[in-house]
Amino acid sequence: MMSDYNVETINDGLNEFNVEFHGPKESLYEGGVWKIRVELPDAYPYKSPSIGFMNKIFHPNVDEMSGSVCLDVINQSWSPMFDLLNIFEVFLPQLLLYPNPSDPLNGDAASLMMKDRKQYDQKVKEYCERYAKKENITKSTADEESDEEDVTDEESKSSDDEIAGHADP
């Protein structure tokens, strides 16, 4: 179903995965590449999936710190008849093409968009140049893997004495 996309499963499961997403043509985000984390709830397809940007994006409806997407965009229109392709071919492109500053998750982006559209456009382009490149998403994957490998057996073992201290006699 997602054969046109680069999909990477997390922990070899089918409920969590990352998808490489390219900004829509003729938008401020054109040329940008993002890693999107998708988490399917147990009630999927009756409940919409959770989606979030793994690398930074400047957008009023995307939380800058967590990358969470304003779920209203999906939940208002979600139907069990949709499949995951709808997220990447309809929902996300529409979100990027038509930001809604009146329902923000990123107040700075919303405020700038309403006050100075030219400066907002420039900041979006700067974020795309800085954070939304192919090397950013492949680097972040490598960093995640190396962080996991850096934990030694000594570090992963814990002792109750270290945490709680010694018991009183």
Q: Looking at residue 108, which CATH number applies to its domain?
A: 3.10.110.10
* Residue 43 within a domain: yes
* Residue 83 within a domain: yes
* Residue 156 within a domain: no
Q: Known catalytic residue: 70?
A: yes
Q: Which residues contact 140 (CB under 8 A, 6 or more apart)?
A: 35, 54, 55
Task: Identify the three-state secondary structure at position 47.
Answer: coil
Whole-number average pLDDT of the chain? 82
* Residue 97 within a domain: yes
pTM: 0.76
Number of domains in the chain: 1
DSSP 87: I
Q: What are phi and psi of 16, to 5 degrees?
A: -135, 130
| Residue 12's pLDDT band (cuts 50, 70, 90) | confident
pLDDT of 140: 53
Residue tagged active-site, from 70, 73, 74, 87: 70
* Residue 128 within a domain: yes
Amino acid at 105: L
* Residue 19 within a domain: yes
Residue span of the structural domain in which 119 resides:
5-136
Average pLDDT score over residue span 121-130: 97
pLDDT of 153: 44
Per the structure block, which two tokens stand in for 128?
A: 């795309």
Average pLDDT score over residue span 21-39: 95
* Residue 107 within a domain: yes
* Residue 11 within a domain: yes
For 88-125, what is the HEC assignment?
Answer: HHHHHHHHHHCCCCCCCCCHHHHHHHHHCHHHHHHHHH
Rounded distance between C-alpha atoms, residue 112 and residue 106, angstroms: 10
